[in-house]
Amino acid sequence: MIGILEDKEERIIQFRKKFPNAFITNNPHEFVKFVLENQDQIKLISLDHDLEWFEEVPYKIEVTGTEVAKALVASNLRIDMNIVIHSWNAVGGPRMKQIFQDQGYLNVEFRPWRGV
């Protein structure tokens, strides 16, 4: 099983062609919930940074892959999870990788998007 966090439709189309059974969402809350509930069956998660996801709490904030990475490690994501950060964001992508590595995750790669 594969979990993918992505907001761009053209990327989602490519992911679906390559991984037709993958769970793909642009919703960071759905992604975290899915991964934590299914982590024993998941072989790989792939995350984007810039999600274009905004929330009002009580002011408008952007939720990015950085917050998703923090939520996953705070919720005890399986330490041997294979993690790919496929973001073009040259600051956010490496930051996400560092969040995982700082908590002892070893199977983490930052691979800026070049297609699937």
Answer whether residue 116 shows pLDDT above 80.
no
Instruction: Output the average pLDDT for the chain.
Output: 92
Domains and CATH numbers, the chain: 2-110 (3.40.50.2300)
Output the pLDDT for position 105.
Answer: 95
Say how far apart CA 108 and CA 100 lie, in whole Å: 7
Of the candidates 93, 88, 72, 63, the residue with the CA atom closest to the CA atom of residue 8 = 88
Q: pLDDT tens, 20-77?
A: 999 999 999 999 999 999 999 999 999 999 887 676 777 677 788 999 999 999 999 9
Which pLDDT belongs to residue 42? Answer: 97
Contact 90, 113 (CB under 8 A): no
The owner of tokens 């992911």 is 15
Mean pLDDT, rounded, for 112-116: 77
* Range of weakest confidence among 1-5, 45-49, 72-76, 111-115: 111-115
pLDDT of residue 8: 92
Decide if pLDDT at 100 tops 90: yes
Q: What is the pLDDT of residue 57?
A: 73
